[in-house]
Chains A and B, each alone.
Chain A
Amino acid sequence: MLSFQYLPHREYAGLDTEEKLKKVFKIVKKDKIVLMQGRLKPHEEALLIEQTMGQITKKFSGISFCTILPDQNGKGKKSDGKVPLVLKNAFYNVFMKNRDTLTIIGPANLVKEIRKNPNRIDLMMN
């Protein structure tokens, strides 16, 4: 059986980076796939990789993770509406705080790879 655990923004919004990652690892190490509302900051993503490497054992070979951005298809393209894309993105970043982004983090022993093509997400299971 495959288990997913939803991690809403309110559950980690007040946490510092260490606590946030601790929460993620706690779920992942129970062989569950985290569906996180929002995304980690770039330095937190780097720290997630660093800490993953520091925890690798025979039983835990790491993680697979992927961030799904709402404006993925719009990047680099001209806006088709009246509001320029740059403004739209800025609005989202300020008011939504990336809450319409989804981050998937799974243990590598379950999720070998998350293949992201702009329009599709494939979870390659082990």
Chain B
Amino acid sequence: MIKKFKSIFNRVLGKLFRRKSGVKLGFYGPPNAGKTTLANRICMDWLGEEMGSASSVPHETREIKIKEKVEIESDGKMLSFNIIDTPGIATQIDYEDFLKHKISKTKAKKRAKEATKGVIEAIKWLDNVDCVVVVLDSTKNPYSQVNITIIGNLAARDIPVLIVGNKVDLKSSNLKKIESAFPQYDVIGISAQKGKNIENFYKEVFRLVK
């Protein structure tokens, strides 16, 4: 009860001050869903520079990356965001999986070790974000426990959530499946790589912040 009250109190206080310092917008999701691609798209749109490197090899982002004071405009309104790109959350990391992507054994082991630390860091950062965009790959089954755990933890912390179904440009994309998996949340379909539906994504982010 006290914890809940504290969380609401912090949230109200946070709302009063974050407009100046920037809304801390976290990007969460499983590996390879397109979190960094989306963060890059936003940074390119509003800063003219990318945030980090994206790759088809899982766990490309292995540490928290922050871009501060990203001024985004939507429907004539302007808001300042601190974009927080997090490593993909997974329950298992096997260096041998990286070998399939033609990475040397030494590098694969190093990548696996860094990835485990990245997952821990991403989970710890759940306490430091104001709002979260959960990025899911719309070509994959959304009923994974990682997705449920992330969203469950955000709900328990009263953090506003927008679910993004990414990769809607692909034939196997199934946004309806995400909508039926998480009916209590707003879901928007985009293609971060192709820039499809990005304007509506910005509108939804502004709605989330209010």
Tell me the bound Cα distance from A45 to B93 in angstroms. Answer: 17
Interface string of A32-63 (1 = CB under 8 A from B): 00000000011101100110111010000111
Report if B54 contacts A (CB, 8 A): no
Residues of chain A with a CB closer than 8 A to B93's CB:
53, 56, 61-62
Please tell me if the beta carbons of B89 and A42 are within 8 angstroms of each other in the complex.
no
Q: Who on chain A is nearest to B113 by CB? A: A56
Tell me the bound Cα distance from A56 to B124 in angstroms. Answer: 18
Tell me the bound Cα distance from A41 to B156 in angstroms. Answer: 9
Please tell me if the beta carbons of B149 and A114 are within 8 angstroms of each other in the complex.
no
The secondary structure that dominates the A interface is mixed
Binds A, one of B67-75, B129-137, B139-147: B139-147
Residues of chain A with a CB closer than 8 A to B183's CB:
75-76
Please tell me if the beta carbons of A43 and B153 are within 8 angstroms of each other in the complex.
yes
Tell me the bound Cα distance from A73 to B117 in angstroms. Answer: 36
Tell me the bound Cα distance from A85 to B80 in angstroms. Answer: 40
Please tell me if the beta carbons of B116 and A56 are within 8 angstroms of each other in the complex.
yes
Tell me the bound Cα distance from A51 to B144 in angstroms. Answer: 19
Report if B175 contacts A (CB, 8 A): no
Please tell me if the beta carbons of A116 and B153 are within 8 angstroms of each other in the complex.
no
Report if A27 contacts B (CB, 8 A): no
Report if A108 contacts B (CB, 8 A): yes
